[in-house]
Structure 1
Amino acid sequence: MTNPTPGLLDRPTVRFAARRLTRFAVSLWVLVTASFLMLHLIPGDPIRAALGMNASQDLVNQRRQALGLDDPLLLQYWDYLKGLFTGDLHTSLSSQLPVAQIIGERLPATLELAVAAFALAIVVAVPLGAVMGVITRNGRARRAELVFTTAGVIVGAIPEFVLCVVLVWILGVQLQWLPVAGKTGFASFVLPVVALAVGPAAILSRILRVEMVAVVGADYVRTARAKRLPAFAVYAKHALPNALTSTLTLGGLLLGTMVAGTVLVENVFAWPGLGSTIVSSILGKDYPVVQGVVLVYGVGVLAVNLLVDVALALLDPRSTIREA
């Protein structure tokens, strides 16, 4: 008697993907709803606050009507959802430009900064953590382990603002090696990228060292070494890919944190991205722009988490089975 063929929904990978997509959809709906309610939860009249107390009542009423704030709440919510599908995020109260246009002009600069910082953190953390894991395996090199761990804790705990100020003072003001403001070329990337990458690189390298120490002591690694394979092949092909799974998960979470961290770094270095835009919009009470930028940041973090889950499932298919 043959066993019945399992249905599509019985496969662990399909159930894993369905759960992740469902979680993403629910989180996205909560984010969209929260961003919509932002204008309605602000105390007072946000239109009056944005235009100033000296603005005429006719101008205030005109702006409220243009934003559809006179319509019933459910109708406003429906119009907001329809606008998201068409790219309509309303109009800036200060510049009278479409919010989607403002975000489209500023988003590339923020993405360049975040991606470059994440790439630098990975390039530094992976080889450093892997090498330290091999060196300190089986309780070896205790002094090197202590120095590495202590330095990682101290560097990872430095606030981004303090690190930005130190980098600007030393490399920008005292030595005058690098520009300290604006986006004027490759040199202008160095300071903000380093400021964003140092903390995550310290955290990731410490985590990877711990994972590498555990993996190096596994049976399959000892078997590979018993076969007299080259040390590089043992550690790079057998140990490192298995040690990277936890690091990848944490790295994805840190990427979301780094995207949010661009708000502070961009304002310190006068970087023309979304971070400086949202701060200037908050100070100017330009709430439609704040609403749109918050939505973009939130969608970015959710998308990064989803991509990390997919990448982790591809690297370690057993994770989909364990969660089934």
Structure 2
Amino acid sequence: MLKYILKRFLIMIVTLWIIVTLTFVLMVSIPGSPFNSESTSNEIIQKNLERHYNLDKPYHIQYLIYLKSIVTFDFGPSISQPNQTVNSLLSRGFPISFELGMVTIIVAVLSGITLGVIAALRHNGIIDYMAMGYAVLGISIPNFILATLLIKKVAVDWDFLPVATWSSPAHMVLPVVALATGPMAIIARLTRSTMIEVLTQDYIKMARAKGLSPWKIVFKHALRNALMPVVTIMGTLLAGILTGTFVIEQIFAIPGMGKYFVESINHRDYPVIMGTTVFYSAFLIVMLFLVDIAYGILDPRIKIHKEEGE
């Protein structure tokens, strides 16, 4: 187990280094300068600003400075907001984005598994058809379209829930619904299909023959194996949800990292773009690592220590 964890940790480091390098190459490949504006049209002012932010140095020196900022977790000042550092923007915006992402994941997983189990237990019935129809609809509608529809109907026409900011639990409802519907639908369909397959296995038939209650059979014996494919795709869903918060935050005016990231792109704020990209990449890589560990713990048939020989 320890060797497996160390191996995965080294893969994480290499993956993060590749992302860091690609991000830097993309940033320096963009033509022009973040100081090409009317307020900095003076050539001397531009050169002084570039010197202040180390943009006048050769690329390999900029890259080393960039790596040092990552190792020390000090991404420096923001270009578009000189009185703010990238670290302060992260500490201000990430907790809100994280809260939105985690609530969305919890809602998507719990509702998706519940819907999938109910559909599997009522296979080919009206509940099954309704549940899967809802799941197909959830997959088909992009979250930004659903967010717009929710704002129009629920917030504007019905005046039932608030539409913007992030100041109370009521403000969470519409963003979470818009962001969780797609992943919930995927989890529901996957849970249903695997649950139907598991319920036909011999050990389930044996449990029924022993006279175990239906709920005990479902939750103690069937559900654990049915959740394996769900755990497998959790890494992809986590990435989709946490990056999808950027779009939803813009639509609902949520003061999370999406706001600062989009503004940094518009102003070509290199420190914020690179700092946010590296921070989120590291976070997602760690989450994928935890999913891999959970996959091995959830299924005792997987012998993690044998992976060294693969």
Please state how far the C-alpha of 1:52 moved relative to its aligned partner. Answer: 4.4
1:35 to 23, 31, 35: 23
Range with bigger deviation, 281-290 or 110-119: 281-290
1:257 to 220, 231, 240: 240
- Give the residue type in structure 2 aligned to 1:116: V
- Give the residue type in structure 1 aligned to 2:22: A
Distance 1:257 1:76 in 2: 31
Please state how far the C-alpha of 1:285 moved relative to its aligned partner. Answer: 2.4
What TM-score results when the alignment is normalised by the length of structure 2?
0.92
1:56 matched to 2:42? The reply is yes
- Could you say which residue in structure 2 is the equivalent of 1:66? 52
- Could you say which residue in structure 1 is the equivalent of 2:153? 170
- Give the residue type in structure 1 aligned to 2:62: Q
Q: The residue matched to 1:285 in structure 2 has which SS?
A: coil
- Could you say which residue in structure 1 is the equivalent of 2:101? 114
Distance 1:41 1:297 in 2: 22
1:104 to 74, 91, 108: 91
1:23 matched to 2:11? The reply is yes
Distance 2:216 2:133 in 1: 30
Please state how far the C-alpha of 1:148 moved relative to its aligned partner. Answer: 3.0
Q: Is the 8 A contact 1:99 1:288 kept in 2?
A: yes
What TM-score results when the alignment is normalised by the length of structure 1?
0.88
Q: Percent same amino acid among aligned pairs?
A: 33
Q: Is the 8 A contact 2:118 2:128 kept in 1?
A: no
User: Structure 1 unaligned runs (5+)?
Assistant: 1-12
CA displacement, residues 198-240 of structure 1 (integer Å, 9 cap, x when unaligned): 1111110110011111111112111111111111111101110
Q: How many residues align?
A: 306
**1:127-276 alignment runs, 5 A limit:** 127-136=114-123, 141=124, 143-276=126-259
- Give the residue type in structure 2 aligned to 1:309: D
- Could you say which residue in structure 2 is the equivalent of 1:124? 111
Distance 1:15 1:87 in 2: 28
- Could you say which residue in structure 1 is the equivalent of 2:283? 300
Q: Is the 8 A contact 2:40 2:46 kept in 1?
A: no
Distance 1:287 1:76 in 2: 12
CA displacement, residues 182-201 of structure 1 (integer Å, 9 cap, x when unaligned): 11211111110111011111
Q: Is the 8 A contact 1:16 1:320 kept in 2?
A: no
- Could you say which residue in structure 2 is the equivalent of 1:10? none
Please state how far the C-alpha of 1:316 moved relative to its aligned partner. Answer: 1.4
Q: Is the 8 A contact 1:182 1:272 kept in 2?
A: yes
CA RMSD of aligned residues (A): 1.9
Q: Is the 8 A contact 1:47 1:63 kept in 2?
A: no
